[in-house]
Structure 1
């Protein structure tokens, strides 16, 4: 397969609400995921999110495929939402316009595969079509699957920190077109596949993956210490693989795919594998490492009745307009994996092509055993991305987000009273850290939006602010021993 024309081999037969009936016989339910803001989660918050994912997924039927996909695309801030009437507003608008940032979108897909045994061969043509009417034959099975997924999604939404929203027909088709169009926005183009690489239009793609137990280090956890923001007084946490998310300032997608298997069946498979490796462990250190890791998995399964065996696959698809830049991006990803004590696998040729194609949700059941690691569900969920960009409120004051230094609108009055019951707030910081400067900024924006201000200024920090509006302010000075009256 050298070239793909999507119109001739469209992967979708039909869409009903957020249920996709794929041309290969799979049934897919798609959701957009709203995650907590970056830097807003504590160590306990990460543990709670991890527990929520586990509780939601553990009861899904055997044979279910779950794909969490996090897409990060370079974008420029248009500044269209910023006012530009006054001098300072114009300066702010000019300062932020065209600033680069990463646009993050998180998706969650549940796949009912036509082959529930999930025994794909190494290379499967994802565009092959099944017999007509196959979905009608599976009608009862599909209804049960949709019910189980709805229960899982309801549990996720009840966690409060995460919300899911069903993808409608238009959103699904737009997503599909964007994926196979190489994320070009102004032109339709073909996918060119060959042994050297993947090219879609003028975008060149490559892939790195975690596809076996050998890729993992000694441990996985739901969060890790953020060295950048941690101080002697405070320990700051981030998600375990957050360094591959918003911190990787390149166009990329993180695909985390889980195959939910029958626990008892795979326990027997793993025990047999341990027996085989035990016989050959003296013939190489690699066999000893794999034997140890599989033994740890089996022990976790035996010790925890709630454990769930899964096969998993994590890959990062990244792209650039310059093919020579792919090596530089790959080095950044490998460096981050190294800090996590993980060793990514680099697929080439035919394998790379199939990693890209099978990362489209309708094809997610096509990975073979050679492309999957085996572990328990709790272990695998440590590889989930659990946060996203700062989000603006509907109204409020313009601040800078600390990730990309672009404007973010925050309602400091907390109009809907999500955080506090009364309309007041305080600014705390050591001397010289910018309390008055920040207050000036907040007050200026409120004043320019038509809010009447009364400022009690003991240190003279706001006199320059008042002089910006010579016709719109009155200064009343208090002299000791004299009464001060204000007639509103």
Structure 2
């Protein structure tokens, strides 16, 4: 057994930022998303473009991490606010104790120091006995990154779809009685609940206290859908004449009825170096194309990727998406597997259940540790396609004027 303080990659939380032991700077936001079933086809396209424009403003060697929490809950009636209104009290009685999903969304932006060694499943800080800083962070780098973060937030808020609130030191690290996002992720604590320390087991299966976690990933192009977009049709509310839209990744978000965290990662590297690497890969596949048809097909795919990147001015990135699900009931893993697999199938994707690399992927989801994500579990794509997998909606909120 190891103590958490020996492995925790977080060095300090100050100035509303998380500083890792490797010199990575992470800024966190709490995001307010539009209510589900309220956007039109044009809204989804504008919403999608806002994410693309905002992420393009981030500097090279940055990590965009969007983390959506969905926890099973039940509606708690507020009879005091209903007062003497017959309709209000009847409405509260009708919805009282009905099951629902509580949703909270966080956006973390990480700037890695230049020259930082990329992590993999074999080289991850959860497998090291100690974590030593690679370099210190300069004030110039900090100011430049903060400028990019400010522009990112401005573009999203100006779109009118997203509200962003910067997380403070207490909201990141927590206080004596109120857990922050770091503590919530480590111990799977619900928002607003008191702090509880739980044992974390990583061998064979991730267990946090009495909760057994299942990790399902989209990390290979072979398992991805052939077509993606900003929206899909929601068949339950659609007819032959009219199509009802939801976000493309909504089946993995608000429409997935279980306790889960939907993690969305986009890694921005040196685009010119990426294109050079792919050019070398294309030439290597060209020389091997005479030995098998698979090499020839792979060569054509890489060539098409390079042509689109240059002709359309696309930004090549690496991406990864995963669903971390858990159940409070013993033996609920089978139901989780069926639910997540069915949700992935609605996107025309195939869910991969992680076993060997689940600890590394889970640990990289800790706010402030995104830069240590195992890059062998990512895939090459364009920013426009990667942002289609973002969860775009939240649950309904009570009206202030009600």
Matches within 5 A, 1:431-442: none
Q: Residue by residue, what CA displacement relative to the aligned partner does 1:347-380 show, whole Å, maximum 9, x if unpaired?
A: 213x111111111131211223311100111111
Cα displacement (A) at 1:121: 3.2
RMSD (Å), alpha carbons:
2.5
Name 1:459's counterpart in structure 2: none
Name 1:315's counterpart in structure 2: 322
Contact 2:182 2:367 in 1 (8 A): no
Name 2:163's counterpart in structure 1: 163
Name 1:189's counterpart in structure 2: 198
Report the CA distance shift for 1:143/1:321 in structure 2 as closer, same or farther (over 3 A): same
Helix, strand or coil: the match of 2:237? Answer: coil
Report the CA distance shift for 1:240/1:282 in structure 2 as closer, same or farther (over 3 A): farther
Asked if residue 15 in structure 1 is aligned to residue 13 in structure 2, the reply is yes
Quote the Cα distance in structure 1 between the aligned partners of 2:10 and 2:355: 28
Name 1:239's counterpart in structure 2: 247
TM-score normalised to structure 1 length: 0.74
Quick check: 111-120 or 186-195, which moved more?
Answer: 111-120
Report the CA distance shift for 1:284/1:178 in structure 2 as closer, same or farther (over 3 A): farther
Contact 2:125 2:131 in 1 (8 A): no
Aligned length: 389
Contact 1:63 1:117 in 2 (8 A): no
Report the CA distance shift for 1:49/1:83 in structure 2 as closer, same or farther (over 3 A): same
Cα displacement (A) at 1:43: 1.3
Cα displacement (A) at 1:80: 3.0
Report the CA distance shift for 1:341/1:93 in structure 2 as closer, same or farther (over 3 A): closer
Asked if residue 276 in structure 1 is aligned to residue 284 in structure 2, the reply is yes
Contact 1:18 1:31 in 2 (8 A): no
* Bigger Rg, which one: 1
Quote the Cα distance in structure 1 between the aligned partners of 2:248 and 2:264: 14
Report the CA distance shift for 1:101/1:290 in structure 2 as closer, same or farther (over 3 A): farther
Structure 1: gaps spanning 5 or more residues: 397-488
With a CA cutoff of 8 Å and minimum separation of 6, indicate the structure with the bigger relative contact order: 2
Cα displacement (A) at 1:116: 4.8
Report the CA distance shift for 1:9/1:370 in structure 2 as closer, same or farther (over 3 A): closer
Asked if residue 203 in structure 1 is aligned to residue 214 in structure 2, the reply is no
Quote the Cα distance in structure 1 between the aligned partners of 2:333 and 2:292: 34
Name 1:251's counterpart in structure 2: 259
TM-score normalised to structure 2 length: 0.89
Asked if residue 139 in structure 1 is aligned to residue 139 in structure 2, the reply is yes
Helix, strand or coil: the match of 2:28? Answer: strand
Helix, strand or coil: the match of 1:224? Answer: strand
Quote the Cα distance in structure 1 between the aligned partners of 2:262 and 2:326: 12
Cα displacement (A) at 1:337: 1.7
Contact 1:27 1:111 in 2 (8 A): yes
Name 2:132's counterpart in structure 1: 130
Contact 1:6 1:180 in 2 (8 A): no
Structure 2: gaps spanning 5 or more residues: 174-179
Report the CA distance shift for 1:259/1:230 in structure 2 as closer, same or farther (over 3 A): same
Among 214, 229, 243, the alignment partner of 2:237 is 229
Quote the Cα distance in structure 1 between the aligned partners of 2:293 and 2:340: 26
